[in-house]
Amino acid sequence: MGEVAIRLEGIGKRYRLGEREPYRALRDALAEAIGRPLRRLSMRPRADTASPSRPSPDDGWIWALKDVSLEIRRGEVVGIIGRNGAGKSTLLKILARITEPTTGHGEIHGRVGALLEVGTGFHPELTGRENIFLNGAILGMRRSEIRRKFDEIVAFAEVEKFIDTPVKRYSSGMFVRLAFAVAAHLETEILLIDEVLAVGDAAFQRKCLGKMGDVAKQGRTIPFVSHNLAAIQRLCGRVIWLDQGVVVDEGPATSVVSRYLRSALSSLTERLWDDIRTAPGTEKVRLRRACVRPVTGRPDDQITTETPFVLEFEYWNLEPDAHLNLSLHIYNDQSILVFNALPVRETTWRGRPFPRGLFRDRCYVPGNLLNDGVHRVELLIVRDEANVLFQYEDVLIFDVHETVGERGAWYGKWAGAVRPMLDWTTELVETDAPSPLACGVLSGPR
């Protein structure tokens, strides 16, 4: 893993607001590829553009990336995180040679496969079989290589019955499964993945994660863009954090993700949607309010490791005689699911049909349970205890603060997702315990 697979120096990308890139036909891309070395990409800056350190005074321009320099070694799986619009996808498009950098230069050593957007490189009028060969050829694979992997690709995508059907008739799930299968199975040295886990059901997402883990073990290089921070930490040894086109942090995955959550996510301890027409939800249920607060305080009061607090939600039920319940997933700053709360002890409405109307649920969390750090709440509104009607990630974000009095002489980070204050006893069993030498225990080697 010592060789460099990707090296970028001072990469910048500037766009004119409201302007589209010139249309390029497939013949243009093929003609350009003929003159480009197969195993190496050298990206050179354009001479007629401004430096990102001194942007053009024209307000019609925006820098998607500014002075990005990084190295990714062969066999590394590197996560790229940041808010929407941070420049993550633009960076991958430059690496995939879909667009050229405005400034800076870089090198890519190895054939590149990419899954940047669902179905990129697929033709809707062609069948699944034809698209596998077309996409493989675009990625630089020989026909023999594609044939060798063909059955494995089709089996992974679970589209055997429809492989000779035009992909325009595929469901979105079938489409993305086939697109991911082609990109992951063809033997490119570098695989670019952009938010593939945002589409598909839970079983498909688990399958993708497993395949990406297998690909990483084969020594292939994977730059991986995702908002799924748990997947980032599971798959990636190193993480790069982009913000407004600039690299603001990089390092071990757990450390960078923790700093990102603390800095990039503002605290959301209370949210209100008064207008039912625009409130988040569906035609069956809509959310009105969400808040987290100390049991005896307000949403802006501090929560410490000792503080009992309440998670409160108000929602409109729009369907008569619906059997509803809330499900709360609490994640810590490492995206570990700390616990899942359900109203199993609620006695008034549990098991009863809900009339149309506004409901309020409260979930009480005892003190001395959570560890210090940023915590995120995911809300699910469930019908008949099985069907998720509405799901809202990061509906609340709150910080649990340290209580100095508990520390004693310990000043490091407390390990673990929870930090319960458990009952503990110590008793003297016997006085004047015998010395180790008397028991035949030696203090050192002979």
Task: Count other C-beta atoms under 10 Å from residue 121's C-beta.
Answer: 19
Query: Tokens for 230?
Result: 């748990």
Rounded Cα–Cα distance for residues 333 and 190 (Å): 30
What is the full per-residue pLDDT of the chain (446 aa) written as tens digits? 468 999 999 999 998 876 555 555 555 655 555 555 444 445 555 444 444 444 444 567 889 999 999 999 998 999 999 887 889 989 998 998 888 999 998 999 988 877 776 556 688 899 999 999 988 887 777 889 889 999 999 998 888 999 999 988 988 778 878 888 887 787 788 888 887 655 556 667 777 778 877 887 888 899 999 877 777 888 888 999 999 899 999 999 888 887 887 776 567 899 999 999 999 999 999 999 999 999 998 988 889 899 999 999 999 999 999 999 999 999 998 788 999 999 999 999 998 999 999 999 999 999 999 998 889 999 999 999 889 999 998 899 998 988 755 555 555 567 888 988 888 978 879 887 666 655 555 555 54
Rounded Cα–Cα distance for residues 122 and 310 (Å): 49
Rounded Cα–Cα distance for residues 174 and 208 (Å): 13
Does residue 172 sit in helix, strand or coil?
Answer: helix
Contacts of 438 (CB under 8 A, 6+ apart): none
Scanning the structure block, which residue is given the tokens 């952009």?
194
Task: Count other C-beta atoms under 10 Å from residue 316's C-beta.
Answer: 17
- Is residue 193 within 8 Å of 224, Cβ to Cβ? yes
Report the DSSP beta bridge partners of residue 238. Answer: 78, 252
| Phi-psi category of residue 335: left, alpha or beta, with phi > 0 → left and psi -120 to 50 → alpha | left
Helix H or strand E encompassing 80: strand 77-81
Please name which of 45, 33, 149 lies closest in space to residue 106, comparing C-alpha atoms.
Answer: 45
Query: Tokens for 325?
Result: 């319940």
Scanning the structure block, which residue is given the tokens 């690496």?
95
Residue 388 burial class via C-beta count within 10 angstroms: exposed 0-12, middle 13-18, buried 19 and up: exposed
| Amino acid, single-letter form, for residue 230 | A
Scanning the structure block, which residue is given the tokens 């002489």?
409
Handedness of CA 274, 277, 281, 284 (dihedral sign): positive
* Residue 164 phi, psi dihedral angles, 5° rounding: -105, 20
Q: What is the pTM of this model?
A: 0.60
Domains, the chain: 4-264 (3.40.50.300), 270-404 (2.70.50.60)
